[in-house]
Amino acid sequence: MSDLASGRTGDIGFERLFARYSQPIYVYVLRMVGDADRAADITQDTFIKAYRKLDTLTDDASTRAWIYRIATNTAIDEMRRRRFTTRMDPDSPEHDRADRGPGPEEQVMARTIDVRVQRALGRLRPNHRQCLILSDVEDMSAQQIGEVMGISYAATRTLLCRARGEMRRELAREGIGA
């Protein structure tokens, strides 16, 4: 049994889980649904579910995949209830880059590229967007992505390849890349 789930750590384990994963889960969900308020609600629901199921966590090594899986399922359930996805607003402050570079020209160029990348990402199929975010933003391996998405390693590799192809096409529509 995980230290997070063991009875002797109880709420302290959940506090550690929340402290470590609340911000990354929020950012992940925000990129999935494209709306800050919805992302905050989904993140909150994710941690409520995690708290209720903390005793099902078997080891600390699987914690990351476990919490991302809960977040993924919660986001998908919410999107199904709404039957649509909201496009990301590239002008909202949640999408600003942390490091804009030293000069104003670089700031303008970075902002323009970031807006176009966000727009392209928002046009991807939800499972392609999810796979790319987990791989390229969350830096998960194909094995970890498969655990989060509930698919095999081979299916993950195929999905990632197709998602990257779709992203290349969308970036080309935005005038980025070859």
Tell me the domains of the chain and their CATH numbers: 10-82 (1.10.1740.10), 102-173 (1.10.10.10)
pLDDT at 6 over 50: no
Residue 19 has a CB neighbour count (10 Å cut-off) of 9
pLDDT at 75: 87
pLDDT at 113: 60
pLDDT tens, position by position, 123-163: 889 899 989 989 988 888 999 999 889 999 999 999 999 99
pLDDT tens, position by position, 97-128: 454 444 555 555 555 567 788 888 888 898 99
pLDDT at 81: 77
pLDDT tens, position by position, 17-60: 899 999 999 999 888 888 889 999 999 999 999 999 888 877 77
pLDDT tens, position by position, 71-104: 988 988 887 777 544 455 555 555 554 544 445 5
CA distances from 161 to 128, 132, 144 (A): 9, 9, 16
CA-atom Rg of the chain in angstroms: 17
